[in-house]
Structure 1
Amino acid sequence: MDHRIERIGPGDWERMREVRLAQLLDTPMAFMETYETALGHDEDEWRSRVERVSAAGSVGFAAVAADGRWVGTMISLTPEPEEALLVGVWVEPAYRGRGLGVTDGLLDAVLGWAREEAGARRLVLRVHEDNPRATAFYRRRGFAFTGRSEPYELDPSSLLVEMALPLG
């Protein structure tokens, strides 16, 4: 399955909306909003999201299939000096798996940005405690649990656990 990694730009609001709705249907626990909430957002909200992703101090990458569809995303921002936060991670089920390289390609793009453009010394993420596939991927790529966690906003009885990767 051919794909390429592209930086998300200001004109990508429609594809951002399309992939976000797919994300929420596929893995609702991985995101901080419901499908119903996202479905109700107007064009201005989607444009605003894409503008935030392409503003200074943040970046978004999309894995783009040969037919032009977005089949994965990773977004990073810098809420703290020298620290990048990874959010908005998702890959379409048909494009998952180590052999396809989509998730690795997206993470490589984020890591390059975090080191070279953001000047981050570490990349941090929060993953739902009931998402072992994502946790296994991050561990394979060198992330480790920090010992920090927080209640998941949509279900406070479950946790988001923090993982971090030093960028040396």
Structure 2
Amino acid sequence: MNQHVIRPVRADEWEKVKELRLAALRDPAAPVAFLETEEAAVGRPDAFWQERTEGASHGRSARQFIAEAPDGTWNANVVVLVEEAGTVGIFDEAIDVDQGHLVGVFVRPEQRGSGLTEALFEAALEWSWSLEGPALDRVRLFVHEDNARAAAFYRRFGFEVSGLVVPMPTDPSAKELEYVFPRPAAN
């Protein structure tokens, strides 16, 4: 893992959050990995990035984890959004259980295969399972039907296809497949 530190973002790190997001949106896989374009992200004001980072740095609703190299470079990230039963998800689907939703998964190309994704997912799941009042029943994510590399990683990590398929908002002819990771049984 090249001695990266896996940690949550801090509220004042919005410029690094923005830089890593723009790098992700420039990646060749971005059209099947993200629901946002680089053009849209570039056009967002600093206040957007400040609020986004603040919201993902503490509290229960979201947490962003990053992989920070010894030189301070951020090489990967994942965000956990908490979805409560009785609400509506990002694809307008009904949420029937309290769950985490992993989004924004990105590893810089030169770091892929180094173990950063596994370390980020472990941190995201550990945080998800630590939440109380109410505890989360599962963690989920969606993967584009043409993103075979990501789907293979998610299955290796332990996510399973749930059967829920939704149209991709930016291209309704394309499909997003839900993968879930159930809460481990208590010992």
Higher percent of residues as helix: 1
Residue of 29, 32, 35 corresponding to 1:32: 35
Q: What is the CA–CA distance in structure 2 between the aligned matches of 1:158 and 1:112, rounded to whole Å?
A: 32
Instruction: Provide Cα deviations, 1:42-78, integer angstroms capped at 9, x if missing partner.
Output: 1101101112212422211000112211110011021
2:131 to 95, 117, 120: 117
Match of 1:72 in 2: 76
Query: Structure 2 residue aligned with 1:146, among 162, 177, 180?
Result: 162
Report runs of 4+ in structure 1 exceeding 4 Å deviation: none
**One-letter code aligned to 1:164:** V
> Who wins on radius of gyration, i.e. which is larger?
2
- Figure out how many residues of one structure are paired with residues of the other and give that number: 166
Find the partner of 1:106 among 116, 120, 128: 120
Q: How far 1:7 moved relative to its partner?
A: 0.8
Which structure 2 residue ranges, 5 or more long, are not aligned?
86-97
Match for residue 94 of structure 2?
A: none
Percent identity, aligned pairs only, is 40
CA RMSD of aligned residues (A): 1.2
Q: How far 1:117 sits from its partner (Å)? A: 2.5
Q: Which runs of 5+ in 1 are unaligned?
A: none
Q: Which has the higher strand share?
A: 1
Return the offset for 1:28: 1.7
Q: TM-score, normalised by structure 1?
A: 0.94
For the pair 1:44 / 2:47, whether they are aligned, the reply is yes
Aligned partner letter, 1:76: V
SS at match of 1:32: coil
Q: For residue 67 of structure 1, give the secondary structure of its aligned residue in structure 2.
A: coil
In the alignment, the residues of structure 2 paired with residue 55 and residue 153 of structure 1 have an alpha-carbon distance, to the nearest angstrom, of 29
Report the Cα distance in structure 2 between the residues aligned to 1:21 and 1:117, rounded to whole angstroms: 30
